[in-house]
Structures are given as C-alpha cells and as structure tokens.
Amino acid sequence: MKSLLLILLLFIGKFCLAQQSYVLSGMVKDKHGEALPGAGVYVSGYKIATVTDNNGKYALPLKPGNYDILVQLIGYKALNKNVVLADKAVKLDFTLEESITQLAEVTIKPDPNREHYIAMFKGYFIGTTPNAEQCKLINPNVLIIDYDKEEHKLTVKTTEFLIVENKALGYRIKYLLNNFEYDSKTRIIYYEGFPYYEDLKGSARRKKIWDQKRITAYQGSPQHFFRSIYHHRATEEGFIINKLMTKSNPDKPSDSMINANIKRLTKVQTGLTRPLTITMGDSLSYWIQKKNLPGGISILSRAPVTQDTLVHVENQSIKSFNFTDQLYVIYTKEREDPTYANRIGLSIARPLDMPDYQISTISLQVVPVYFYENGSIYNPRSMLYAGYWGWEKIADSVPMDYLPPANVEGKN
C-alpha cells in the first residue's frame, strides 16, 4: 500500500501549490454503520486535530502532502490511515472496532521484570538527555512488552495512545506506538508510530522558557537538517556534510586464513598432554590477535559533500538522496551537551583540531531516502543514526509543523 502511495506521490507534486490548503473530510462510524460523535481525529507528527460532530463527521484543512491520520475514541481501538492530498479535497472515512481488554490474562500472568523493561524502554524511547529527565510516562499500563531471551531483543507496542508529558519543552505527546525494538546484540534501536503534540498549560514565564528550549531542540536535529537541505541552505544554517568511508584493514588477513590457523594450532596443543595454553608472542596468540582486529578502518574525508550532488528533486513536493559509505554531519552552531560527552560508546570520533560540535552519522538501510519540505522522512526505517542524533529521542522532538522564529540565529 505504501509503495503504491509513493508512486502516486512522485507524480502529483507538479500540480501542487504549497500555499494552498485542501479539505480532508469524512465520517467516523462503528462496524454497524452508526456515527461516532466526539472521536478525536489527529494528524500524526503535528499539532493539528479536530473532533467529530454529532453526525460523526470531521473536516481538516491541510496543505498538499502525505499524511498519517489517526482516530481515537474511548472504548474503541485507535485506527490510522495514510492519505495523499494533491490538488483537490479528499474524503476519508473510518470504521472503528470496539476494544476488548483482557484483564484476566494480565492478572493471571504478571511479569516480574515488567518494571525493568519499562525502565529500559523509557531510556531508549524517551531518551537520557536533560530534557528526558523532565518527561513522565502517564500511562505505562498500555505498553505491551515482550523480551526474547534467546534473541536478546526487547519489543514494545501499544493499541492505545501512550501519553508522555514533556515538562522540558511544554508538550503532551500522545503516541500510538506501532513497534519498538531494541536489539542488545547490535545495540540498534528502532521505533515507529504516530505521535500527536499538544501544548501544556503554563505561565507566560514558563512559556518563554519552553519557546527557547524548543528552538534549541529543533536546531541541529534531523528535522532541521532535512528541512535545510530541501531548501539548499544546509551550509547557511550551520551544517557541514562530510563522508565517513570504511576500507578493508590491510593488517587483517582473511577470515578463512585466520580460522584455519587457529584451528590448526589449537589441534596441535590439544593433542598434547598438558592443558591448552595461550602465551603472548606465540603463534596461536598472534592469530587470535589478528582475529580481534577490526575488519575495516574508518577514514574521514573532510571534503564537503555538495548538496547539488546529494539531493535530487523528485517533484515539487518531495526530494530524495542517496550516497555510499556514511554521511558525517557536523552542526557548528551548538556544542555537545556535557551529559552526552560523558556517555561511553556514543560519541563519534573527530579530528583533533575540530571543536566539540555536535556530530552525527547517517547509514542507509533502504535507498533512496525520500523526504519532504518540513523535514519528515517517507520511510523512517530507511536510515540509521549514530552519534548526537542517536542520543536524542522523543524528549528532544518537536512537531513537524514547528517553525522557529524568523529572527532566530544558531547559538555560537
């Protein structure tokens, strides 16, 4: 379904007028065809929402683009649909199913490790940044948690909105979590779902603090990066794009040669009466050291990657990029937070003459990567982030329709 929508999207942009809005409307009903008044209709990733009227109808004015629309009503399963708005209004109806909570099963089979898994999930989903310390999971009971001990993989999902109260940025985030995965073997974190942002209530002073923190959260983020390269302004907005290339380690023989020698030398020793020993400087120790060498060596090319060669125009609404190796993205208008710098295993290596700018890397999983004017990505699973972007999670996110004040300049 998504591939069909993508093909459609690649041909509609030619006729889109970005400044014009079109109405997305429809009806929300149950499986018997009865209208459902009071259902919340949300635009995922934005602060745009409405409620169905007494006849179960809704209407949302939206600019041309690709949207995930969520519908929620107490007593029913949350439902989402994808829609593309091009050059005319669109009608989209929803049929909700009743939600049945199996309380008996939860009571009979309690998980003694649940609190531990929730703590893990919070660290990997909300984050460990200073902003994350001011976030609270309001309803962790909606989390459906599974841990595969053999695969060492934590998976989490929800059938209802998970509510996160972010007192650092002043948002109440309602997140319908389709899937969260943490693989402790690869240390890869992946999640996808449908967030909706609401402003928390606060005093004028508190709102002023939130405004400044939102600017800081946005600047240097993936959202800021993709929005800037869409408009060909990455350099002006503080981004330097380099390449991190991986080449074969010339000091490491082939795996077949290493394994063959270790097997041969181990067999010789086990044929003796004394126990197997490894002595520094002997042949077996030599080949074990070779086995432990990294297979590749990372080389940073400091020649700037030009946006003309990186970004390709698909149509008026969507652009794409593709590259080999890894992108090494430096944001020069903010420095690393001390909390990040002190965390082992997160920082990206940098040249000795480079200040403590925020550095992130991008590895491609699916090519090409399609992205929109507001910085959103068509397929969130198409890339892996490491470094600063790998550290910042939901606690440091802002809505996709967030725009910093026009007079804001990046901090030096």
Q: What are the distances in angstroms from CA 203 to CA 132, 167, 207? A: 21, 13, 6
* 356 DSSP assignment: S
- Which of 280, 287, 290 lies closest to 251 in space, CA to CA? 290
For residues 46 and 198, the answer to whether their CB atoms sit within 8 Å is: no
The highest-level CATH class for domain 2-96 is mainly beta
Domain ranges of the chain: 2-96, 222-246+298-391, 253-292
Predicted model pTM: 0.78
Q: Mean pLDDT per segment of 10 residues, for the chain of length 412 residues?
A: 41 44 94 96 94 96 87 89 87 92 46 92 95 96 93 92 96 94 90 93 96 97 96 96 84 79 71 52 74 77 93 88 94 93 78 94 93 85 92 95 75 43
**239-248 vs 296-301, strand pairing mode:** antiparallel
Burial of 121 (0-12, 13-18, 19+ CB in 10 A): buried
Report the alpha-carbon angle 384-317-371, nearest 5. 5
HEC string of 173-196 equals EEEEEEEEEEECCCCEEEEEEEEE
Helix or strand run (H / E) with residue 229: helix 222-230
The DSSP output letter for 381 is G
pLDDT at 411: 45
Cis before 195? omega within 30: no
Torsion of CA 280, 284, 290, 293, to 10 degrees: -60
Q: What is the DSSP pairing of strand 326-335 with strand 357-364?
A: antiparallel
Residue 5: what pLDDT?
42
DSSP H/E element including 289: helix 283-291
Long-range own/partner contacts, residues 96-102 (CB < 8 A, 24 or more apart)? 96/28, 96/29, 96/30, 96/31, 96/36, 96/39, 96/71, 97/30, 97/31, 98/30, 98/31, 99/75, 99/159, 99/160
Tokens of 345: 């295993």
Count Cα atoms within 13 angstroms, Cβ side, for 357. 23
Specify the pLDDT at position 65: 77
Give CA–CA dist 409/215, Å, rounded: 10
| Residues 6+ away with beta carbon under 8 Å from 176 | 70, 72, 78, 80, 158, 160, 161, 162, 193, 194, 195
> What is the pLDDT at residue 408?
64
